[in-house]
Amino acid sequence: MKAMVQMQTCDLRHAEDPLVLCDWKEPEPGPGEILIQVSACGVCHTELDVIEGRTPPSRYPVIPGHQIVGRIIGMDEGVRDFDTGDRVGVGWIYNTCGTCVFCRSGLENLCTDFRATGRDAHGGYAERVAVPSRSVYRIPDGLTDIEAAPLLCAGAIGYRALNLAGLKNGQTLGLTGFGASGHLVLKMARYRYPDSAVFVFARRERERRFALELGAQWAGDTDDTAPHPCDALIDTTPAWKPVVEALRNLNRNGRLVINAIRKGDADRDNLLRLDYPVHLWMEKEIKSVANITRNDIREFLDLAAEIPIRPEVERYAFWDANRALHDLNAGRIRGAKVLEIQSGAAMDP
């Protein structure tokens, strides 16, 4: 089969082709595993962290991709919950130990043996992938494969962040950063909290315009002051400045949820700007989002079908994965980016 493969850690600013299009050995489903013919795979900001070594793979080479949609073409004989031909998806959570206190309490996202799809195991930038059956999810009818792909991470992690924010209907929600996850949180918030205003903070004018198109009541730059304080605020950026500015825009007893796997070092000096009375006093809270649970994905897919949520999507040919990654790294974002995985000789550019 064909696969886009990461051979080593690299700096995307200086690596034109961080992934290599390769002929790759066909995967075979092991005990409890399912084999999927991949039709679409979302491109996530976390892939940038994997490629540049901020959350490095546990081995090389590795096939990235953790927002996978396709159809089952094979499975271990012990799998009972799925049938060949089922349309399914796979997210960031590949496997966990299943026995620790976190796994037993439904917080397998905190498992010390957490293994991620596309980082610790081969992912969906390939024609086929084999994954544990307990980390496979049915895709609801009404969503195309391309639409479903971003829901498996950007949507589901946004769902977890929104739940952790503790927002009540009528309170104001702030969103810092407006990429794949942010735009899905906005769609979700408008449905779940119809009387709540949503304020968006984003560096780029096109992102602010996009937020207003989708129903945000206000959109400003990262360091702007909102019309009034936010009762909850979700940060989806890779930088520290938006965190400090978000705390300044947070209401008394408000909660900031940081939805990011890493924060960069380039602007760490912004943390020195923290002023306790301005940014933290009056019982403000900060909470981080770590990974994702299987239940987050199941519940969000059901909610997305109910609303329904249709993500804004930019499509890329499979062999154009490097261009998609560079566009994401450069901030050329409108919604989510998805690779269309084709088959056979049609894969060749």
* Per-residue pLDDT, 261: 86
Please name which of 165, 144, 139, 160 lies closest in space to residue 36, comparing C-alpha atoms: 139
Contact 12, 113 (CB under 8 A): no
Check whether 14 has a pLDDT greater than 50.
Answer: yes
Please name which of 63, 45, 42 lies closest in space to residue 54, comparing C-alpha atoms: 45
Check whether 298 has a pLDDT greater than 80.
Answer: yes
* Per-residue pLDDT, 346: 34
Give the 3-state secondary structure of residue 134. helix
Alpha helices in 31-153, H assignment, sequence order: 45-52, 101-104, 145-148
Give the 3-state secondary structure of residue 176. strand
pLDDT-based confidence at 168, cuts 50/70/90? very high
* Per-residue pLDDT, 98: 95
User: Tell me: the pLDDT tens digits for 53-99?
Assistant: 989 998 999 999 999 999 999 999 989 999 999 999 999 999 999 99
**57's torsion region: left (phi>0), alpha (psi -120 to 50) or beta?**
beta
Question: Higher-confidence residue: 34 or 263?
Answer: 34
| Lowest mean per-residue pLDDT among 147-156, 242-251, 309-318, 340-349 | 340-349
pLDDT-based confidence at 313, cuts 50/70/90? very high
Q: Which two tokens stand for residue 13?
A: 């600013």
CA pair distance 43, 339, nearest whole angstrom: 7
Name the DSSP letter for residue 320.
G
* Per-residue pLDDT, 348: 37
Neighbours of 293 (CB within 10 A): 21
* Per-residue pLDDT, 297: 97
Classified by CATH at the fold level, domain 156-288 comes out as Rossmann fold (3.40.50)
Over residues 285-301, the mean pLDDT reads 96
CA pair distance 336, 9, nearest whole angstrom: 24
* Per-residue pLDDT, 267: 86
Q: Domain segments of the chain: what residues? A: 2-153+292-347, 156-288
* Per-residue pLDDT, 72: 97
pLDDT-based confidence at 345, cuts 50/70/90? very low
User: Tell me: the pLDDT tens digits for 189-241?
Assistant: 999 999 999 999 999 999 999 999 999 999 999 999 999 999 999 999 989 99
* Per-residue pLDDT, 46: 93
User: Tell me: the pLDDT tens digits for 107-117?
Assistant: 999 999 999 99
Over residues 316-326, the mean pLDDT reads 96
* Per-residue pLDDT, 344: 35
* Per-residue pLDDT, 266: 81
* Per-residue pLDDT, 205: 95
CATH code for the part of the protein at 2-153+292-347: 3.90.180.10
Over residues 268-290, the mean pLDDT reads 92
- The DSSP string of 249-296 is TEEEEEEEEE--S---STTGGGGGG--IIIIITTT-EEEE--S--HHH
